[in-house]
Chains A and B, each alone.
Chain A
């Protein structure tokens, strides 16, 4: 069965990212209970976005769902996402994969490559939308849909990731 989210992609890049970080965070964010406005870490991320790759063309924002940090146009379209650290690599990987998938499916752009840039680590990772990756992503999108439609999931246990999360006080107070 094709979920609604799948029929018409209405999932935000951030949601794909949060799916790998924490289900509670994904649910709250999706229900507009957002906490990031006071987070120093989010602020830092914005600074990083503003202060690196200044020569590049600015962000790619599409339909309020996609917001890649910058694109490079050549024979291939390069979509870049800038991240602070590679601690939650899987989340970054699927977030960018989703951007590529969205561009292909909704905008018909196929000649495309994705890059995750870690300027602080002087590292760069290339990502491609292979049939296999696409299959994995579809499964993720369906799961996101299920989580978001379900009841509010409480986090099961405090993990390392909670320490730097904007929702820490919300979840554990």
Chain B
């Protein structure tokens, strides 16, 4: 049975009765059968008991928490059951060995740029992404790779502004807090994707704190940040463009003040609904010969990384082929 993501947007209580969870809020009580849950995304204030935590841990279900502004606050990452000391050592080896680290770091950026290029060409936007890919080849340091990534993304946002309606232009990328609507959407989407990737990593033997492009001590689950570079253009950015272009989201979906803009509850609901649809969308995988969802593509990326770390098969970053 395929397990689902649950997104909780209204305040309430999560309760356990036997092996079923119930979400109780002002509208009533809704059961969430434990075997149907893959991850929970909590965007509201949620009361949970230790019995709930124990059950989630037993079933290996992570729960991601976001504060009332929609910023990621942390995850309940259940006890690891998939441990491979062997792999962790190899993961660390690839970090310590500078050449090995550079290879992976630049692969992540390479994939990211290719995927940005895909989005741009879909909208018929001429771009210089190829030059940036060329620049990437000569990078000898992580900072240089990061620099190319930064330039690529700045150019990319600038180009996207050409096709975005006036109120929804990105302009300068601002975070905490995002200063306009486009930035609010990007921040919201990126942190959602980050949590999705944490769930995928949890289901593999990879250690989420050992990363290559980002510094492992930068943030807790920095490997999720590495992988998210590949998927941001294809999952988050495309979704945002879709929502804006189809007029599915407008000013009433935001909470605004002089210096910030954030999605309100209604806006968040629209966003996560469409986001979840996207994660479930499938494409036929050329190599496996089966249909694979976008969410599963993230897992496959983890597998490819594991194979690379074990030797024998070189990692090739995910590049959208459609």
Q: Which residues of A contact B (CB under 8 A)?
A: 31-34, 37-38, 40, 151-154, 168-170, 172-173
Contact = CB atoms under 8 A, between A and B. Distances in A.
B300 A173 contact: yes
Interface of B: 1, 60, 81-87, 203, 205, 285, 287-288, 292, 296, 299-300, 303-304, 306-307, 310-313
Contacts of B296: 169
B33 to A, nearest CB: 16
Contacts of B1: 40
Given A38-B203, A154-B312, A169-B299, A31 B304 contact: no
A38 B2 CA distance: 10
Nearest to A30: B86
Nearest to B299: A169
A152 B205 CA distance: 16
A173 B286 CA distance: 9
B307 to A, nearest CB: 7
B288 A172 contact: yes
B296 to A, nearest CB: 8
A33 B85 CA distance: 10
Nearest to B206: A33
Given A152-B312, A168-B288, A173-B300, A31 B86 contact: yes
A50 B85 CA distance: 32
A151 B285 contact: no
Contact of A172 (B82, B83, B287): B287
A43 to B, nearest CB: 9
A154 B308 CA distance: 11
A32 B205 contact: yes
Contacts of B304: 173
A170 B307 contact: yes
Contacts of B60: 37
Contacts of B292: 169
Given A32-B83, A151-B311, A172-B287, 14 more contacts: A31-B84, A32-B82, A32-B84, A32-B85, A33-B84, A33-B86, A37-B60, A152-B312, A153-B312, A154-B312, A169-B299, A170-B306, A172-B288, A173-B300
B87 A31 contact: yes
6 contacts: A31-B86, A31-B87, A34-B82, A168-B288, A170-B307, A173-B300
A38 B306 CA distance: 18
Contacts of A153: 312
Which 6 pairs between the two chains have the least Cβ-Cβ distance? A32-B84, A173-B300, A152-B310, A170-B303, A31-B86, A154-B312
Given A33-B205, A38-B203, A173 B288 contact: yes
Given A33-B306, A154-B312, A169 B84 contact: no
B205 A169 contact: no
A151 B310 CA distance: 8
Nearest to B287: A172
Nearest to A167: B303
A32 B86 contact: yes
A152 B87 contact: no
B17 to A, nearest CB: 23
Contacts of B312: 151-154
Contacts of A37: 60, 81-82, 203
